[in-house]
Amino acid sequence: MDFFLEQLGNGLSKGSIFALIAVGYTMVYGVIRLINFAHGEFVMVAAFAGYFCLGALPPSAMPMQGYWALGASMALATACAVLTAGVLAVAVERAAYRPIRKAGRIAALLTAIGVSLFLQNFGIQVVGASDRAFMQERQLPRRVSALSLYKPGDIPPADIYVLHEWPDAATDLEIAFRAGEAIKPEDLADLQSQGVHMVFSLCPMTDGLKRWIIISALAACCLFLHCLVRYTAFGRSMRAVSYDIEGAQFMGVNVNRVISLTFFIGAAIGGLGGVLLALFYNTLDPLMGLIPGLKAFIAAVLGGIGSVPGALLGGLLLGVVEDLVVAYGHFELGSTKFNLTTYRDAVAYTVLITILLLRPQGILGRERAQKL
Amino acid sequence: MGDKQAVEEAESTSGRDRLKRDFEILSVEKLAKSFGGLRAVSDFDLELKAGELVGLIGPNGAGKTTVFNLLTGFYKPTSGVIRFAGYDVHGMPPHRITEYGMARTFQNIRLFGDMTVEDNVKVGFHHRTCYGIADALLRRRAFRDSEAEVAQKTGELLDLFSLADKRGEPARSLPYGEQRRLEIARAMAAGPRLLLLDEPVAGMNRSESRDLMALLRRLRVEFDLTMLLIEHDIKFVMDICERIVVLDGGEIIASGSPAEICSNPAVIEAYLGSGGSTPGGGGMNASR
Ligand SMILES: Nc1ncnc2c1ncn2[C@@H]1O[C@H](COP(=O)(O)OP(=O)(O)OP(=O)(O)O)[C@@H](O)[C@H]1O
Ligand SMILES: [Mg+2]
């Protein structure tokens, strides 16, 4: 049971990230019927924006301690990522999609693929192709305390490091006392003689913590989107444009503005997904948007493309199915051993294709009569 | 209604002009539109004085809907001048022209079928709500006041159009006649000074169309509206319009009072030529 819950939690957090990315696909498709294949790259750019912001303002540089510092630093990085993705998406829409909006869907699709390749290669040019760790150990939030609190013979539960100055941007962590070892009087005296007054321990980023961050981010976004779409003038305009883009203009709806805002919000939420993706796997590179982007697209189709709740549901479902296939992929039937783990994607997608065969419009999608 | 206020916000001078009768709200000169080689509209002149109710009739394919699409900015004219409320609206996008006070309905109903009756009307208020997403997120005063006002005015319009008890239903589930009424209610939400109605009674029975006629007359007085309406139901046009313009093959072939139009040989010829009955006969074939 514990194993099952563990897997479910893992699947849900991966699924939440797919869901956040899928929202952008589905919103943009909803208003202009474009599958924006560059969306995965918006996610990637956002992750890098978050990464650089985190590098400049790591938790260790925040004026607070412990997980508060992590929260503050992550909030700044996320804001930076979200804004970058939103602005990039608006710029791409303005420069690449709007001029060819009336040229047909194939032209738009090819443009989107072009933008996607451009951003990938631009990313490789600028930051290099190799992958990086999203958050290094030295950036982890710190819990600072005075050296004088430690007595010889104490056994610290975690490694204790020397704090030279505040904020401390030293590349290497200088260890003062090791976790689980009794503090030797001579080490203490040594540090005191070096003029060290403050020390700190790190607050680790556990998988459980990451999971909570991710799932609560998804919940917050669901609430935000629901209220936005249901109760605001922008939401009504978006629904109107989505239903009848030409007709909406005659009601005074500025269609271009609605489209720009839709791109902004979709990419911003995808950008949040990007930061969480980088945090979850603690890695990022210029091609990181490709596979999650593709999976989010599948999630959007699964949920019913054009439907925001559908995208959220599709993402969660995809994450959970993938994960459970891995977790329960080994079993024995009679004397034969089966191992489906290596066929993870094949099995997961068979499930999804089955759902789509039963409901071609997606789980929450509407069948839309083709307008003549 | 707050449309006076909206007008003042948009442009104060013409807001005052509007109150003067005989103010020319719409003036169209030598308007022409071709699609490839097809001249859908040519040499079209029209002047509407504030408060007038004018009918635009003509056989199928005469170019009536095309005229509406030109006036509302959906098509760019091939040539010609359109002045609306003193502004040259040539080349403006439809939503801007709507802001200046022109609203329309469609020959084939074009409601937002998924959305509720109430939300359809609220979309019409779009350009009169002015709050940002941040305001909405933080539930700031601008958002709350604006939404409360929109809700109240929507309620008033729905009452006026006897749709209040259907407010929560998706627009597509309404019966045909109510969908037509809802389209007009939605157009009214934009606070228009000129309302363009494309076959408002098409597909309605006699009593429904009589009710709609009464409603249009009432709107005209209460909202100080100017109306231009396309209709195949000649009896309806003759009853409600003060002036009629007849279009055939994209050109105006006659214009004048209902009585003049009835006896105009060119008009009779156009209708007989296209296989319909005479305008005075009242039974022109509707397009559906
Ligand atoms: N977008 C378009 N592209 C090409 N031709 C068009 C277009 N819109 C209208 N037309 C043509 O212009 C002519 C006038 O059409 P329009 O719809 O204005 O006629 P109408 O008077 O409204 O007719 P009806 O009474 O059937 O509604 C028709 O021959 C039509 O085929
Ligand atoms: Mg027509």
Is the peptide bond prior to A167 cis by the omega test (within 30 degrees of 0)? yes
**Of the bound ligands, which one is closest to the alpha carbon of residue B276?**
1
Q: Does residue B246 share a domain with residue B219?
A: yes
Q: Is residue B20 part of a domain?
A: yes
Last residue of a domain, one of A287, A320, A351: A287
Of all residues in chain B, what percent carry a pLDDT higher than 70? 86
- Hunting for tokens 């309406």 — which residue is that? B229
Q: How far is CA B116 from CA A87, A266, B163, in A?
A: 32, 24, 11
What is the C-alpha separation between B30 and B42, in angstroms, rounded?
Answer: 7
Q: Does residue A266 share a domain with residue A157?
A: no
To which H or E segment does residue A318 belong? helix A308-327
Q: Is residue B171 part of a domain?
A: yes
**In the predicted model, is pLDDT for residue B132 greater than 80?**
no
In which domain, by residue range, is A114 found?
13-136+207-287
pLDDT (0 to 100) of residue B286: 39
Q: Is residue A322 part of a domain?
A: no
Distance of CA B265 to the CA centre of its chain: 29
Q: Is residue A80 part of a domain?
A: yes
pLDDT (0 to 100) of residue B272: 64
Nearest CA to ligand 1 atom 11: B40
> How many separate domains does chain B show?
2
Q: Does residue B220 share a domain with residue B83?
A: yes
Q: Is residue B287 part of a domain?
A: yes
Q: How many CA atoms lie within 13 A of A228 on its CB side?
A: 20
Q: Does residue A250 share a domain with residue A107?
A: yes
Q: Does residue A87 share a domain with residue A231?
A: yes
Of all residues in chain B, what percent carry a pLDDT higher than 90? 53
What is the C-alpha separation between B152 and B209, in angstroms, rounded?
Answer: 28
Q: Does residue B212 share a domain with residue B182?
A: no
Q: Does residue A164 share a domain with residue A40?
A: no
Q: Does residue B279 share a domain with residue B231?
A: yes
Q: How confident is the model at residue A86 (pLDDT cuts 50, 70, 90)?
A: very high
Q: Does residue B275 share a domain with residue B142?
A: no
B231 vs B285 pLDDT, higher one: B231
pLDDT digits (tens, 9 = 90+) for A297-325: 999 999 998 888 999 999 999 999 888 88
Q: Which residues pair with B55 in a beta bridge?
A: B229, B244
Q: How confident is the model at residue B270 (pLDDT cuts 50, 70, 90)?
A: confident
Question: A250 φ, ψ to 5°?
Answer: -70, -15
What is the C-alpha separation between B188 and B194, in angstroms, rounded?
Answer: 10
The 3 state secondary structure assigned to chain B is: CCHHHHHHHHCHHHHHHHHCCCCEEEEEEEEEEEECCEEEEEEEEEEEECCCEEEEECCCCCCHHHHHHHHCCCCCCCEEEEEECCEECCCCCHHHHHHHCEEECCCCCCCCCCCEHHHHHHHHCHHHCCCCHHHHHCCCHHHHHHHHHHHHHHHHHHHHCCCHHHCCCEHHHCCHHHHHHHHHHHHHHCCCCEEEEECCCCCCCHHHHHHHHHHHHHHHHHCCCEEEEECCCHHHHHHHCCEEEEEECCEEEEEECHHHHHCCHHHHHHHHHCCCCCHHHCCCCCCC
Q: Does residue A237 share a domain with residue A89?
A: yes
Structure tokens at A96: 């690449």
Question: What is the complex's ipTM, to 2 decimals?
Answer: 0.83
CA B72 / ligand 2 centre spacing (Å):
14
A5: three-class secondary structure by DSSP: helix
Last residue of a domain, one of B140, B164, B191: B191
Last residue of a domain, one of B191, B225, B246: B191
Residue among A233, A243, A265 whose CB faces B112 most closely: A243
Whether residue B126 and residue A261 make contact (CB cut-off 8 A), yes or no, is: no
> Would you tell me which residues 186-215 of chain B have a C-beta closer than 8 angstroms to some C-beta of chain A?
186-187, 189-190
Q: Is residue B26 part of a domain?
A: yes
Q: How many CB pairs under 8 A join A and B?
A: 87
Q: Which residues of B122-148 are buried (b: 16+ CB within 10 A; e: fewer)?
A: bbbbbbbbebebebbeeeeebbeebbe
Distance of CA A303 to the CA centre of its chain: 19
Of B233, B181, B194, give the one whose Cα is nearest residue B52: B194
pLDDT (0 to 100) of residue A368: 58
pLDDT digits (tens, 9 = 90+) for B33-50: 999 888 999 999 999 999
Structure tokens at B209: 């169309």
Q: Is B22 left (phi over 0), alpha (psi -120 to 50) or beta?
A: left
Structure tokens at A311: 């995208």
Last residue of a domain, one of A239, A265, A287: A287
Q: Is residue A298 part of a domain?
A: no
What is the C-alpha separation between A299 and A293, in angstroms, rounded?
Answer: 10
Q: Is residue A319 part of a domain?
A: no
Q: How confident is the model at residue A174 (pLDDT cuts 50, 70, 90)?
A: confident
pLDDT (0 to 100) of residue B27: 92
Q: Does residue B211 share a domain with residue B136?
A: no
Q: Does residue B71 share a domain with residue B2?
A: yes
To which H or E segment does residue A337 belong? strand A336-339
Q: How confident is the model at residue A151 (pLDDT cuts 50, 70, 90)?
A: confident
pLDDT digits (tens, 9 = 90+) for A96-138: 999 998 888 899 999 999 999 999 999 999 999 899 999 888 8
Q: Does residue B163 share a domain with residue B237?
A: no
Q: Are B88 and B46 in contact (CB under 8 A)?
A: no
Q: Is residue A243 part of a domain?
A: yes
**In the predicted model, is pLDDT for residue B276 greater than 50?**
no
pLDDT (0 to 100) of residue A2: 82
In which domain, by residue range, is B164 found?
115-191
The CATH number of residue B258's host domain is 3.40.50.300
Q: Is residue B108 part of a domain?
A: no
Residue of B nearest to A249 (CA): B95
Q: How confident is the model at residue B280 (pLDDT cuts 50, 70, 90)?
A: very low
pLDDT (0 to 100) of residue A183: 87
Q: Is residue A123 part of a domain?
A: yes
pLDDT (0 to 100) of residue B288: 36
pLDDT digits (tens, 9 = 90+) for B60-71: 889 999 999 999
- Hunting for tokens 């019409």 — which residue is that? B124
Task: Tell me the Cα Rg of chain A.
Answer: 24
Choose the mutation target among A27, A236, A238 for the interface with B, i.e. most B CBs under 10 Å: A236
Q: Is residue A370 part of a domain?
A: no
Residues of B whose CB is below 8 A from A366: 114
In chain A, helix, strand, coil percent, each to 5? 65, 5, 25
pLDDT (0 to 100) of residue B7: 44
What is the C-alpha separation between B186 and A43, in angstroms, rounded?
Answer: 39
Task: Please list, in sequence order, all residues whose beta carbon lies within 8 angstroms of the beta carbon of residue B255, skipping any fewer than 6 positions away.
Answer: B243, B244, B245, B246, B261
> How many separate domains does chain A show?
2
Q: Is residue B110 part of a domain?
A: no
Whether residue A232 and residue B133 make contact (CB cut-off 8 A), yes or no, is: yes
Q: Is residue B154 part of a domain?
A: yes
Q: Does residue A64 share a domain with residue A154?
A: no
Average pLDDT of span A152-158 = 87
**Strands B243-248, B53-57: parallel, antiparallel or unpaired by DSSP?**
parallel
Of all residues in chain A, what percent carry a pLDDT higher than 70? 97
Q: Does residue B31 share a domain with residue B120?
A: no
The whole-chain average pLDDT of chain A stands at 89
Q: Does residue B185 share a domain with residue B198?
A: no
> Would you tell me which residues 148-187 of chain B have a C-beta closer than 8 angstroms to some C-beta of chain A?
150, 186-187
Q: Does residue B7 share a domain with residue B136?
A: no
Q: Does residue A224 share a domain with residue A192?
A: no
A138 vs A30 pLDDT, higher one: A30
Q: Does residue B197 share a domain with residue B94?
A: yes
Longest dimension (CA), chain A: 86
Structure tokens at B219: 């709107």
The 3 state secondary structure assigned to A251-265 is: CCCCHHHHHHHHHHH
Q: Does residue A231 share a domain with residue A109?
A: yes
A158: three-class secondary structure by DSSP: coil
Q: How many CA atoms lie within 13 A of A96 on its CB side?
A: 23
